A = this chain, B = another copy of it.
């Protein structure tokens, strides 16, 4: 119900402010008997960690995962799994200068209007540190899914930084090479251009946005639910809840809306194994909200980071005009660190729909 939970059966509930005791979550509804490798959760968190490369913030945060409950002898018990990452690298003094200031395009003003109180330190609950909990939860979801569908693969990658973008089709890319560069773009040439652009932007104290593309391979057909739980609608919601996301499209996306029906329709054919497949995949693997067995793919648009190391005018909570200067160590571009977040939210959506799907057909009983 409340706004810090996500999912129906496989459900995470997250907590934590940026400069409070820690960021954590409860995963409720994860089946019993799942093998859990805590190191693998840590590995996923490390992909999101600040300070991992020259193009991310230089803050050092270890972001070490601690298990509080629900796992016993490396297996899930079927009871709620509570996880926490204690906050370590507090520099709350970095924020006292903005205690009463509404930073442009942040959530300071809207939180103040809504709640009449705000933990101003590091953005409090509106900080992107909140996504730590998503990555930890997604990691559990991944372990669950992989135990059933070994071949499912979820790969997100940076497909565009400002106007520098991959010009290849997804099937031309080697998705195993995503982590071969610090921007997490599988096209190695384009990745270098992206990195150069970010470095240039960073020097000016400015920031830059772009797109992340995500591909789900080998998802079985039948996942997703009609009407209000269409798979793509839940993926879209999941992505739009990530800080800085302004846009979502799946399958042919906005481009496909320029086509005619006769061009856009995916004709059903039989493949060599005499299984039903489609000639094209404008549907992005989802028809009527339910997977058809083809690859699922979608794009997520991230606005440029709002915190810039440049003076901006703003207003404080006494209606004074003030100068607002971003101190601290911030990301010039969130995209490389957002890649694991996009994957995690995808796993969470899939896990929930896989569980739901178990209940919809008498044949499963």
Main secondary structure, interface of A, reads mixed
A248 cross-chain contacts in B, Cβ below 8 A: 236, 240, 247-249
Cross-chain contact of A77 among B32, B80, B124 (Cβ < 8 A): B124
Contact yes or no, B265 A104, CB < 8 A: yes
Contact yes or no, A15 B247, CB < 8 A: no
Contact yes or no, A209 B31, CB < 8 A: no
For the complex, give the distance between the alpha carbons of A222 and B117 in Å. Answer: 13
> If A22-B68, A69-B15, A77-B17 touch, does A264 touch B304 (CB 8 Å cutoff)?
yes
> If A15-B80, A363-B33 touch, does A20 touch B258 (CB 8 Å cutoff)?
no
Scan residues 135-192 of chain A and give those whose CB is less than 8 A from a CB of chain B: 144, 147-148, 160, 162-163
For the complex, give the distance between the alpha carbons of A162 and B113 in Å. Answer: 41
Kindly specify which of A39-47, A49-57, A312-320 makes contact with the partner chain.
A312-320
For the complex, give the distance between the alpha carbons of A44 and B313 in Å. Answer: 44
A97 to chain B, nearest CB (A): 16
Contact yes or no, A314 B268, CB < 8 A: yes
A20 cross-chain contacts in B, Cβ below 8 A: 68-69, 72
Cross-chain contact of A287 among B84, B109, B247, B274 (Cβ < 8 A): B109
Task: Indicate if A60 sits at the interface (CB-CB under 8 A).
Answer: no
Task: Indicate if A78 sits at the interface (CB-CB under 8 A).
Answer: yes
A78 cross-chain contacts in B, Cβ below 8 A: 114-115, 117, 360-361
Number of interface residues of A (CB under 8 A): 152
Q: Which residue of B lies closest to A83 (CB)?
A: B15
Cross-chain contact of A268 among B15, B70, B102, B209 (Cβ < 8 A): B102
A280 to chain B, nearest CB (A): 9
Cross-chain contact of A360 among B24, B32, B233, B249 (Cβ < 8 A): B32
A343 to chain B, nearest CB (A): 17
A290 cross-chain contacts in B, Cβ below 8 A: 107, 110-111, 113-114
Contact yes or no, A303 B5, CB < 8 A: no
Contact yes or no, B116 A14, CB < 8 A: no
Copies, count:
4
> If A125-B77, A236-B236 touch, does A319 touch B270 (CB 8 Å cutoff)?
yes
A17 cross-chain contacts in B, Cβ below 8 A: 69-70, 72, 77, 79
Contact yes or no, B102 A4, CB < 8 A: no
For the complex, give the distance between the alpha carbons of A203 and B259 in Å. Answer: 16
For the complex, give the distance between the alpha carbons of A70 and B23 in Å. Answer: 11
Contact yes or no, B68 A9, CB < 8 A: no
Cross-chain contact of A29 among B2, B28, B302, B310 (Cβ < 8 A): B2
Contact yes or no, B288 A362, CB < 8 A: no
Contact yes or no, A359 B361, CB < 8 A: no
Scan residues 75-131 of chain A and give those whose CB is less than 8 A from a CB of chain B: 75-82, 84, 102, 104-107, 109-111, 113-119, 124-126, 130
Task: Indicate if A272 sits at the interface (CB-CB under 8 A).
Answer: no
Task: Indicate if A347 sits at the interface (CB-CB under 8 A).
Answer: no
Q: A79-B125, A114-B221, A233-B241 are in contact. List 7 more A-B contacts (CB 8 A).
A: A20-B68, A34-B362, A148-B365, A246-B250, A261-B308, A262-B308, A358-B364
3 shortest interchain CB distances as A-B pairs: A107-B288, A207-B261, A3-B229
